[in-house]
Structure formats: C-alpha cells, structure tokens
Amino acid sequence: MSKIGRRSIKLSTANIDVKDTELTFKGPKGTLTHDLPDSLAVEIKDNVLSVIVIKNDSRKSNMNWGLHRALIANKVKGVEEGFSKTLKIVGLGYKAQISGSKIVFSLGYSHKIDFNLPKGIEAEADRSGQTLTLKSIDKFLLGSTCDSIKSLRPPEPYKGTGIRYEGEVIRRKAGKAKVAGG
C-alpha cells in the first residue's frame, strides 16, 4: 500500500470534472487537466478527493498510485493558489529586464540573451534587475523554465556569480594560494 497514495486531498475552491480517466481542474487561477492510468480512479466526497486503485497488479500500481496522487495534489494547489519561484542574479553588471513575454539578460557575455517565456508563466523583476520572480499554475512548467533560465549562467564555485534560486547555498572553493618566498 502506498503511503502517499492513500492520503486524501482537501478541496477548497477547486472544481473537478471527471470524465472516464480525464480530470479537469478549475479554480480561481485557471484550468488544468490530468489523465489517470486505467488502474486508478478518483472519488470525491465532502470536498475531499481520494485516489483509489482499481486493478492491483502489485508494485507498479502502488508506484502509479503515489505518483498520480502527488501530481493531482500539485494541480489542485496550482489552480487554487498558484506556484512561484524566485531567482537571484549575482554578479557585477548581471541583470534581467522584462519586455512583454520576453526576458532580456545581461550576464557578462559579449551579447544580450533573449529568453522567451512559455505560455502560462508570468515574470516580475525588481528595479535593480537582480531578483526575478516567476509565477505559474503548472508546477512542472515553472520548474523546467527556472532550470532553463539558470542554465544560461549557472552559479560558479569560485566567485559565486551566476543565477541561483533564492536560498540556494553554493559551495565555494578556495582559489589559488600565493606561494611564499618563491
């Protein structure tokens, strides 16, 4: 039995439509869909959603049970509250500017980098261009977009410059040591 799969999901403002194996989540932030495998079903009672195993073919169904329960919980939270991640840009002259659905980065290269935001992602930058906040209702899309932005200039261990998540700790390395008397 899956420890994650048997936990129920409380619904506050989200409405769920169930058609065969397709779930549609509607909330104040937007609409998302999810396809369940044939071995699972959902049950809604008193604003509590439970994921149930129909065909128990051992370990694989337990893994799917926990996985799809977590994915459904993320989609419910996304349409009710939404997700956000904050990126810090560290470095002399490093900054980001938002223009429409595009972010223009100055990251120490000889050119500026244009990054097109995918549909469903909103971005905000502070006045200095050093802090970038991304918001979305889709947790997977938000995470992959943040990783794509971070890969433009990953944090380096000697000076600590680059793009990192807020609160991320970068292991710093010591540089070359001066040789005395040489």
Span 139-150, pLDDT tens digits:
999 999 999 999
* Mean pLDDT across the chain: 91
More confident residue, 135 or 3: 135
Alpha-carbon dihedral 65, 67, 72, 75, rounded to 10 degrees: 180
Residue 57 has pLDDT above 80, yes or no: no
Cα distance between residue 61 and residue 158, in whole Å: 46
Query: Is residue 4 assigned to a domain?
Result: no
| pLDDT value at residue 53 | 87
Scan for tokens 């980065």, then name that residue.
Answer: 105
Average pLDDT for residues 108-131, to the nearest whole number?
94
Residue-range definition of the domain harbouring residue 53: 9-80
Report phi then psi at 151, rounded to 5. Answer: -75, -15
- Tally Cβ neighbours within 10 Å of residue 180: 5
Last residue of a domain, one of 30, 63, 80: 80
> 149 and 94, same structural domain?
yes
Last residue of a domain, one of 35, 59, 80: 80
Q: Give Cα separations from 169 to 4, 28, 79, 161, 163 (angstroms).
A: 29, 35, 30, 12, 12
The contacts of residue 52 (CB under 8 Å, 6+ apart) are 40, 41, 42, 43
How many structural domains are present in the chain?
Answer: 2
Let me know: does 88 contact 131? Beta carbons within 8 Å.
yes
Average pLDDT for residues 60-69, to the nearest whole number?
85
> Sign of dihedral through CA atoms 139, 142, 147, 150?
negative
Last residue of a domain, one of 80, 106, 126: 80
> 161 and 87, same structural domain?
yes
Q: Provide the H-helix boundaries in the chain.
A: 59-80, 139-150
**pTM for the full predicted model:** 0.87
> 107 and 131, same structural domain?
yes
